[in-house]
Structure 1
């Protein structure tokens, strides 16, 4: 058992984790997808505007799956490895990829974009989103919801009662309204996830770094071994992701 465990975690610990391509997990983990189809809806909205900004674009994989971009298309990213990947992927299609920290202010003028989008932003700066939108411009995004993957979070960190309530769709809607935006649509879903081996867990925690902040294989080896044995004896580790779709409009 120990040799198999060591092989699995070593393989996952050595795998590259830049970008938002999760194909390494094919056959090793599954996650149900929200019913609304964010990328399809994103493509529809991008086709109806002349200027748009994608915040925290990651490696650009989601945005790159859209068939056509507006005349002015920009994207921001803070992590250098993702920034390089997004530039290579999106630059040839005319997207201006900008290095920008996830802190205000955004490096754009007031009223610069008809549409601001984001998929799974780490932070949401509503006042800045409102500032860079044109009058009648819209924010369209898929956010990670409250208590997402908390079965995994609490396996490693123990009970997290205060963190459970963060990223609530109602709270985010209220924050958007406080920044002067009008809520057009909010939808929420919880979605089943399964991890079939401990390598999949290691890879996920290395890639989605805010799940267990500061995660390392060495630091959590004992918990990883316990979870490996649990998966071996009981089957896949089941968790549930939380997602909400949110669309807001700037008056005008």
Structure 2
């Protein structure tokens, strides 16, 4: 039996959006994955590291899914519900989870880590990353690129300026912090939202796509989008992702 608009809204509004597990969307929304395979590449780097820091770890999903972690592994997170999830997943793996306020300065000593990572950080603190990296260490990150899911943002809010997450800007900021960019790749990836519940859940979870989103505020646009999906099929958008790896130069010989 086809679910009504009210049923879909009620369901999507009641489910938890803690953490970065998107499995609730299985069968309701799809997103292409970047060709480089971030988790696989991250696992290879973690297997070789001695001390690693994962910044803005979310609920710890990515680290918890890796085959092995370095002898010293630390993750930071600021949002209390995610902190609890990350601790439950990572402490059994021997990792430390540190509460952070998403503002520089990172609460770690200079040159403390030979690997620093982050997946979809809100912001990248290049100077701080360079400070906590040991000489010869690397920063490895998959990030959200420019105009990501712009079709959904503009459906609700109209035209907006979304080009500030350009990979070229990340390169320039990394180099300004004294790091050497050794890999930089970007892709745009197709997304499909197959019912209005998937849209609501996604916007509740990824809050920067439509700032200030609520079902009540956008009731008219949501109902119109529901009718559009029912009549024409999935709402199509495109996410933007880029991969960046930057290395801190070796220090002078002793």
TM-score w.r.t. length of structure 2: 0.96
Matches within 5 A, 1:141-180: 141-160=141-160, 162=161, 164-180=162-178
Q: CA deviation at 1:219?
A: 1.0
Note the residue ranges of structure 2 that are not aligned, 5 or more in a row: none
Structure 2 partner of 1:139: 139
Unaligned runs of 5+ in 1: none
Aligned to 1:249: 247
Following superposition, the deviation at residue 227 of structure 1 comes to 0.7
Partner of residue 65, structure 1: 65
- Give the equivalent residue in structure 2 for 1:84: 84
- Give the equivalent residue in structure 1 for 2:238: 240
Aligned residue for 2:4, secondary structure, equals helix
C-alpha separation between the residues in 2 aligned to 1:207 and 1:39?
Answer: 21
- Deviation string 1:94-141 (CA, Å, 9 cap, x unpaired) is 110000011100110111000000000011111111110001110001
2:121 aligns to what? Answer: 121
Distance 1:11 1:199 in 2: 7
Give the equivalent residue in structure 2 for 1:187: 185
Corresponding residue SS for 1:200: helix
Question: Which residue of structure 1 aligns with residue 221 of structure 2?
Answer: 223
The answer as to 2:97 corresponding to 1:97 is: yes
Q: Helix, strand or coil: the match of 1:188?
A: strand
* Deviation digits for residues 54-111 of structure 1 (CA, Å, limit 9, x no counterpart): 0000000111111101110000001000000000000111110000011100110111
CA displacement, residues 114-173 of structure 1 (integer Å, 9 cap, x when unaligned)? 00000000111111111100011100010000000000010011000x2x2111000111
Deviation at 1:250, TM superposition (A): 0.7
The SS at the match of 2:181 is: strand
Q: TM-score under structure 1 normalisation?
A: 0.97
Partner of 1:23: 23
Matched, 1:5 2:5: yes
Once the two structures are superposed, the pairs formed by residues 34-49 of structure 1 within 5 Å of their partners are: 34-49=34-49
